Structure 1
């Protein structure tokens, strides 16, 4: 992979130019970013805070007040642009002159490795606890924005067959409204690749304060979502390079949801069979 020299006015150059005006704490943070840019683009804000001995709030202020980025996520995107050519941000194993069958092989291989990595780290007890919470739920609300929104919609489509009230929310205001109306016995499934989506985290906090059980599905073990959730299911989506929307993580999270769905079916086969029969009969009436 070809790593480019930073151009003027982009992330690394900006940090270099502002270095003398930074506080002692900010300089330590800046030095780490300058020395380890390829590692930083894969980190959550929590992981960077731990490794640099900084507070998450310090990192946020550094990004916003000193560098002019909306937040840490935007800094990572700019940092990735410093390091890699745009095409390389898709898959660094793929070359421009690769035939399509080789492109397909490499993409599928990346997904396959991520699935196997997830299987190694997933906790059976956490999966079992999540299934128990889902089957006992009075109501399940699912939060996911951006690339996680279609996954949340899939949860609504499939888990509604259990006869439980299930609703997916992609809009941050609707997530907040949902969270404010939850009670003990309700479940929130929050889906986020980074586990650092601010709007999702705020709604999850409200839901948890109201007594709802939080099931977090994320790719980062030490993310804020992992820390706040009652039950965390981590998918090891092996990204070969940083991108704002992860490719393989979508399929990893769908696989985790498949396990929850099948596990729930096996726990209550009679209930699910009856519901599925009713659904098929209703759908049959709409077919020619």
Structure 2
């Protein structure tokens, strides 16, 4: 009788392909199918979401998640980070186009070029109908909540800082517990803007599940149009960034998402110019008192 290896007894996560090979005989047929795809196509896997891989292998997302857990990882994202670490030098996890000999000017040129391409990509794929719905939802919102984790939390904070000028309550939450609490207390007329690069954050998805039955409108800002977040949200705005998808920093995508937030802000502002003009005057007067 064969026994499944205990995850705590597996090798360190620096050899994930070796781990996959070692547990291959102990996997179910569906898990073996996923494992074999990973071993044969590691360079493609690091650019995939769990949804993409599940569709490619024609298996359930849960199967891939179980495989990663059996290999000793917390999930698919953690597995991809480890896999990428095997395949690329450390500096490529920061920017996949720079090299160690690049001058500061060369680094700047490459980073700016990546941002420019990402903005152009986003402009090409943005869905005008979805954008129209998002602007309308923001204009009609009684309250706005912004959810984001990690780097996406910065985008959520930017929403709070800027959209408060609309004269309605706007609150950004990065803590999953606060996201769950606020989501469970939402009402019809409330809008939740969710920012997630991967669109696969389990905490974010859980919060949405709580908010939707309450009648809140969910707007997703993500880099993956076919992600679970895109599927669950009422409205999806997709921002593309030409970067390595496993990268936790998601540098360029952060700027794409902020650009989409700017579009939402300006679009909503133009529809209620009298109100926003009056609010901006009050804001400037209040802030001016703090200046020397």
TM-score using structure 2 length: 0.93
1:36 to 41, 56, 59: 41
Question: Could you tell me which residue of structure 1 aligns to residue 247 of structure 2?
Answer: 243
Of 117, 134, 140, 1:113 maps to 117
- Rounded to whole Å, the distance in 1 between the matches of 2:125 and 2:203 is 27
2: CA distance, partners of 1:86 / 1:176: 35
> CA, structure 1 residues 191+50, in 2 after alignment: closer, same or farther (shift >3 Å)?
same
Residue-by-residue CA offset, 1:150-198 (whole Å, 9 max, x unaligned)? 1100000000001111000010000001001001111000000000111
4+ residue segments displaced more than 6 Å? none
Partner residue of 2:270 out of 256, 266, 270: 266
Alignment match, 1:93: 97
Q: Is 1:14 the counterpart of 2:47 in the alignment?
A: no
Q: Name structure 2 gaps, 5 residues minimum.
A: 1-11
On the 8 A contact 2:94/2:249 being kept in 1, the answer is: no
Matches within 5 A, 1:41-190: 41-64=46-69, 66-190=70-194
Task: Please state how far the C-alpha of 1:238 moved relative to its aligned partner.
Answer: 1.2
Matches of 1:96 and 1:127 in 2, distance apart?
40
Q: Aligned Cα RMSD in Å?
A: 1.3
Residue aligning to 1:27: 32
SS in 2 for 1:195: coil
Which residue number corresponds to residue 283 of structure 1? 287
CA-CA distance at 1:54 after TM superposition: 1.0
> How many residues are paired up?
281
Is residue 144–residue 170 contact of structure 1 (8 Å, CA) maintained in 2? yes
Q: TM-score, normalised by structure 1?
A: 0.95
Alpha-carbon distance in structure 2 between the residues aligned to 1:239 and 1:128:
28
